[in-house]
Structure formats: C-alpha cells, structure tokens
Amino acid sequence: MSRQKSFRFSESKKMDNIIELGKPGYLSRAGTWNSEFFENPNPIVLEIACGKGEYSHGLAKQFPDSNFVGMDIKGARIYVGAKDSEDEGLKNAGFLRGKIENLRTFFGWREVSEIWITFPDPRPKERDEKRRLTYARFLRLYQHILKEDGFLHLKTDNKELMEFTINSVLEFGGEILVQTNDLYQSEWRHQHYGIKTYFENKFTAKGFSIHYLRFRLPVLPQELEPVPPIYLRGIPMVES
C-alpha cells in the first residue's frame, strides 16, 4: 500500500463524515440517515460509484437544504471529497464506503430522493453486461430505495453505455425524462451546476461529448424481501 493511501485510510478513521466498516452504525444505517447522521428531514441525494465525490461535495455547497451521500468502494478516493467537505464545514455531505450490491444494507425503503451515476465503468465487454450499473439487477436496488417521485441521473462519455441504459430502463418499465448526447451543447447545459468529475475533465479535454440521461423507474408497490445474508459477505473487511 502506498504512503498516500495509508495516510488517507488512517485519517478516514477519524473523520465523522465518512462511514465505513468498524465505525458505529455501519451495518444498521438503512433508514436512519435523516434522524441519526444528518439530523434533519431534508431530501437525500445519493452519488454512487462517486470516486473522489466531486458531485456530492459540489452539490452540497450549492444546495444546503438537501443532504448528499457519496458512495464508493475505494476508501482512498472518497477521502478526497470527504476532506474537502470537512474543510469547508459542510454538514450536509457524507461519504460511505461500500459496494453497490449492498445498497439495501445501507439505505432503507424509499429513503432517497435522487441518484447520480457519474461516469461509471462502462464495462464494454459483453460478458460484463450484468456488472453495468444500469443493468436490471441494479435498477431494482435503486427502485427499492427511491421515493415514489424519485429519479436518477446518468452522465457518461460512452455512447454504448448510454444506449444500453436507455434500453435497460425502457425494458424495466421506466420513463426517460431527459436525453442528450451532447450535454454542454444542449438546453440542459446550465443544469449541471458547473461540476465536473476527474474523469469528465479528462474526457472533455480529449474532445469527447458528454451524454446525459435523466430517468424514472416504476414505483415499487411494496418493500422487497429482507436483505439476504450473502450480501453482507461482499462488504470489504480490509482496506485496499
């Protein structure tokens, strides 16, 4: 492990805005974000596979009346957004280290108002289709934690992932609310709050256009079955 990673892992253990294995409430967080973490009733916005948490941190600065959670498996990455938020005194930004497959371990039934999926790994190989974050099994997880009027955002430079997501959402019975293959040349360019992720800056510098999709999933009429214990085995037990 590099010296920088080791430092970040060590510091993360001391930070109140990072939730990770070994800290109180890690496996009992679902349904308690408003009451126990943010201590307010404001809407919760989740950024999954958040990397360095640029959106969670940036949106928290611009929207103090909402709460933001950046989630990623890479502890050294979420440290960056968490540290920026801590340094700026943001009380409405939190960061969670965990796997997307365990989403229902961490968020309760209809607990989240919006979900951002920002530049996920497109998993271009056909055999990796089920690992794409807009595959049906992931949509079902999002459907469980989203409020009835909740919706999702996808930003990507990958045309194939954009097309896959549209088909996946429609096959799932969802609704496309906004769709553009060139975000910053579209009428929606001002609705992204001047926030760009590390990867987005790399892609736009190379001349890639940015695809954006806003969509809604069918309302789940009742809670899914309790989380199977096998999901808990996917929670990282060691730092990496």
* pLDDT tier, 19 (very low <50, low <70, confident <90, very high otherwise): very high
User: Taking the model in full, what pTM does it have?
Assistant: 0.93
| pLDDT score for 40 | 98
Domains annotated on the chain, with CATH = 3-234 (3.40.50.150)
CB burial readout 173-209, b (16+ within 10 A) else e? ebeeeebbeebeebeeeeebeebbbebbeebeeeeeb
In the predicted structure, residue 230 carries a pLDDT above the cut 80: no
Quick check: 118 pLDDT over 70? Answer: yes
User: Which of residues 70 and 184 earns the better pLDDT score?
Assistant: 70
Query: Considering 121, 128, 157, 182, which one is annotated as catalytic?
Result: 121
pLDDT given for residue 97 in this prediction: 96
Is 65 an annotated catalytic residue? no
Q: What is the pLDDT of residue 239?
A: 45
Statement: residue 206 has pLDDT above 90: no
What whole-number distance in Å separates Cα of residue 7 and Cα of residue 51? 18
Checking if the pLDDT of 238 tops 60, the result is no
**Phi/psi of residue 118, nearest 5 degrees:** -110, 110
Cα(114)–Cα(135) distance, integer angstroms:
18
Question: What is residue 235's predicted lDDT score, i.e. its pLDDT?
Answer: 63
Average pLDDT across the chain, whole number: 92
Share of the chain above pLDDT 70, in %: 95
The single residue listed with the structure tokens 């050294």 is 76
In the predicted structure, residue 11 carries a pLDDT above the cut 60: yes
Give the pLDDT band (50/70/90) at residue 132: very high
Question: For residue 39, what pLDDT is reported?
Answer: 97
Alpha-helix residue ranges (DSSP H) falling in 100-135: 103-106
Tokens (6 digits) for 172: 């799932």
Who has greater pLDDT, 35 or 233?
35
Say how far apart CA 193 and CA 196 lie, in whole Å. 9
- Please state whether beta strands 175-180 and 211-216 pair in parallel, antiparallel, or not at all (unpaired): antiparallel
**Residues whose CB is less than 8 angstroms from the CB of residue 156 and which lie 6 or more positions away in sequence, other chains included:** 119, 120, 122, 162, 210, 211
Mean pLDDT of 18-30: 92
Question: pLDDT: is 88 or 193 the higher one?
Answer: 88
* Helix ranges, the chain (H): 3-12, 54-62, 75-87, 103-106, 136-145, 159-171, 198-205
